[in-house]
Copies of this chain bind each other. A is one copy, B any other.
Amino acid sequence: MAVPRTGPNLTKIAAALGVSSATVSNALSGKGRVSADLVQKIRQKADELGYVPSNAGRALRTGRSGVLGLVLPDIANPLFPQIAQAMEMAASNNGYGVLIADSRGEVTTQTDAIGRLIERGVDGLIVIPRRGTRIGAVGCPVAMVDTPSTPGNTVSADHWEGGEQIARHLSDLGHKKILLLGNDPASNVQNDRIGGMKAALGRDICHQTIWLEPILRDGGTTASLKLPYLVESGVTAIATVSDLLALRVLTELQTAGFRVPGHVSVTGFDDLIFSPVVTPALTTIHMDMAQIAEIAVAALIAEITGTQKIKSTTPQQKRTVPDTVMADTSRVPMELIIRSSTGPATPYQTHIPNGETL
């Protein structure tokens, strides 16, 4: 094709000033020895010509692309916007770009997704694994964002502590009989959250855990949670592991004529986009994704820029252990957001779903 490169490059700037391209490179990167006023002139000329360094050229020479891969096996995750935004921001603050990959929920394609990213030459991977999926050796540093209790985890929110906060909040409101509602018992995150809740509930508080996903799988989508029955049997609070579940519970209760939080308090997790705008607004736990992203990206970059010296000399024999990186802080605290879906416990005596004034 012989596409004539249009944009200005190092050589063009060098030619315009009558110096060598090496000097221009040094001046712009501040590495070699270049006199102050020549640096000045080069900078100016570069701006004037609208110089944009070629990533391809740099990548080829340095062996680093300046791009991180973001893998979300479960992209349907409603937290995705938050995660993507936070990661992109953290990366671009550090001069990196973010390439996304999606594996459509299937485990087999997760490997493909990672493969695609590797082929594109990413310098590192950020992986939000789905239900504890292990990542095989990939040949580049990997930051895993799962739960503090997951082996190989780099950084994550302290889901356990978040669970404790929610449980304490409900406990403080006087709730004595609480339903803990999870979705997938195989999820590390959800187990941590539920674990934290249980740990924070004193012996005087009765609680029961229900996992939704197995029920739906066995009973079909029509399977009911029998929430009205549970409430009538004395449950005054339902703590879920996700705002999505909380929303489901909330609307189901409201349709059945119960008042939230009048009859039952409901809590969620994650502070999703809809949580503040529903009525009643959801009491939930917010995670500081920006901070998590910052730590994950920092750890990744540290590994990337420091890993060269220990480069394995035997290219054929890949390491079998994933190169998950470590961070100084591996768990960031979560924040309790109290809104309107929780209130004082009012033990349910007689069932009057309708016909009463607030």
Using CB atoms, name the residue of chain B closest to A312.
Answer: B6
Pairwise interchain contact B88-A80, C-beta atoms closer than 8 A:
no
Smallest distance from the beta carbon of A71 to chain B beta carbons, Å?
A: 11
Pairwise interchain contact B78-A102, C-beta atoms closer than 8 A:
no
Q: How far is the CA of A102 from the CA of B91 in the complex (A)?
A: 11
Copies, count:
2
Q: Which of B52, B121, B274 contacts A244 (CB 8 A)?
A: B274
Q: Which of B81, B116, B247, B250 contacts A75 (CB 8 A)?
A: B81
Q: Which of the segments A20-28, A62-70, A152-160, A167-175 contacts the partner chain?
A: A62-70
Smallest distance from the beta carbon of A84 to chain B beta carbons, Å?
A: 6
Please judge, given known A-B contacts A60-B54, A118-B52, A279-B255, whether A76 and B273 are in contact too, CB under 8 Å.
Answer: yes
Please judge, given known A-B contacts A60-B56, A101-B88, whether A308 and B251 are in contact too, CB under 8 Å.
Answer: no
Q: List 13 A-B contacts (CB under 8 A).
A: A3-B62, A52-B118, A54-B60, A55-B119, A70-B100, A81-B81, A85-B104, A89-B104, A98-B100, A248-B277, A252-B279, A254-B254, A254-B255
Interface, chain A (partner B; CB < 8 A):
1, 3-8, 52-57, 59-60, 62-63, 65-67, 70, 75-78, 80-81, 84-85, 88-89, 92, 97-102, 104, 116-121, 244, 247-248, 250-252, 254-255, 257, 273-274, 277-280, 308, 311-313, 315, 354-356
